[in-house]
Amino acid sequence: MPDVMSAEILLRERGLRVTPQRQSVLRLFLENAGQHWSADQVREKLLPNMPGLARGTTYKVLDELVRGNICEELPTPQGTAIYGLRLAPHHHFVCRACHRWFDVGVEGLDQLAMVGGPPDAVVDEVAVTFLGTCGDCG
């Protein structure tokens, strides 16, 4: 994919040290934009080319990418976190059948208003998740 941003450049821009593990994990997400995987799935995808990649290292790299605002960590109803690329604000559609997450845009967010809730709360981000059945499952 010729338009994929360089993992090395992105790591440097975000102030993260460039390591083979970070580059490989980030490259996987950059080459598969819109995909969401658990840490174990990320590791399984990388093991053929990185046979020594430890499970703990995978979790550590993902945590660093989340803290560097490159990836997002999303809790699932199944109790396993999944990770996806988060270079631009976006929202999600989750298929109730296959449990896949899809990145989506949302229109009309500027018309949303919070009703109730804590007094004097300041909203700094809105996250919308649509639930339903994807075309493959429906």
Q: Which structural domains are found in the chain, ordered by start?
A: 7-85 (1.10.10.10), 91-132 (no CATH)
Q: What is the pLDDT of residue 3?
A: 44
Residue with the larger pLDDT of the pair 123 and 26 = 26
Average pLDDT of the chain?
A: 92
Closest among 24, 10, 30, 22 to 84, alpha carbons compared: 30
Alpha-helix residue ranges (DSSP H) falling in 32-79: 39-46, 55-67
CA dihedral 34, 17, 76, 115 (to 10 degrees): -90
Residues 105-125 have a mean pLDDT of 88
What does the alpha-carbon distance between residue 15 and residue 12 come to, in Å, rounded to a whole number? 5
Residue type at 75 in one-letter notation = P
pLDDT score at 33: 87
pLDDT tier at 128, thresholds 50, 70, 90: very high
